[in-house]
A and B are shown apart, each in its own frame.
Chain A
């Protein structure tokens, strides 16, 4: 079934097809929840909606419901994801399969309108897996995949889509039918949950040694999540004809320079790569879809033949550099054989500033001119 949907509506459909049971939400994401409510009401599934005053509260509701064994859906964005911070740990260390859709927004002092990825990237250490999506279609598909991964490895996940740029754009979306989705995504069955017939406690303040162990097991689960995610995407591809991979190699064949990026920037970069290829320049694109757990092995192999790598970051960690840049560099040099490629880091279009193709063009030009990267971060399109 194909429909013209805004990205927000795509989110609603994704959650709806995943048969979510408890929806915890607060006001800023009303469009998604409204659409979802409409869908659920028509369907008479009896999904429970809990409307609360803040996102912290929303995730608290979600965590509670998930601990009781329900499939939970929550939405957040920037200034509303950040108050969840404590609860993010609560969910991950309690190993609750909560899925949060984050409408990516920049952290700016004046409010919550512009696009940016810092809200989700800043939470990379909370133990949640993170998908950064490029399009409405991908968002909807990823939500369904995220539930499967989450419930298999017992880790919560964030599905990220860019605010404004993507969320309000209307695009055709192919909605899979419910039967096939049900075949792909089995009902949520947790072994440990709040069950009066098998009483256990959740999220107890425990001894340091037990907490240490929890972190160790979470890290192990992250390792497993990588494989599970790969398999989930493969299966999805086989069933619905759409696979995305954890990373996507776009025209990397024989590429000397590979641009690495994530999220909605990818669309623009893709176009620039096409232009470059049309001019006969050996430029490719590597899109990082799964940011946590970071698919270092896949990235290493994708970049193994490249001479130069340009990482285009939409966010910066002040005092260090581009966030994706750090991750890519460290994954290239972590194990032998260490790759010899020169890795350039660029910061573009922070806080929703426009990332026009000419900025990406500058990236390509800059990388082509220089043999070795500089120490400092390269800011493009910034007003100095």
Chain B
């Protein structure tokens, strides 16, 4: 679906993987557990050298790698940081990741960064802006990227379309893939009172190239995407619906706060792997 060459890249298999966190570097490298792939936060490897890049390099020899950005701010009204893009480009050239992803969000205004994933209004104007910026990133990296839906705790009254329509339209117009975060859909569905399945059904299977799963917390009647807990039953159920619709897709277990022992993460990945295999046996891939 894109014109970008990706010859030297190790593809990410339709298996479960885990987010790479520094507390697990040594254990991962010593034990090399059976997991399909690893995903690293791009910005954690923006340094010039040292231990983080050493471990990423070492682990890259054993696992397919996906790079997941949390700081570019695709939707911010200010220009994308050239320094940030340059660092991302060098990282992609060095590690040849199977997938590269960013978030559908904004994070900065007038030079001040909030370092968070803040929701956008879903308007035609924002759609044009986001698509132009994705094109800029894809042209810089000379490859396709994936865009991930974020959790949100408020909606703009100015929005003229639901998030799922916006996301699908972004993918079609910009020629990027979709990283569908099932937990984020669940969290936003509860917070904004929509049916999570409507979201899944609005997304074309061929656009979805990766799935994220994570845990959330509840604060003052609002679900907050904290990546600090095991995946809840309702999200596992929604994940099965997603697999039934999209077919098996690379699935990542994300955990960023109160990071547990590696075995806990691997256990969650194993659960996802079982569902991937079951659904793979029961259903034909949707693309």
Q: Do A and B come from one complex?
A: no
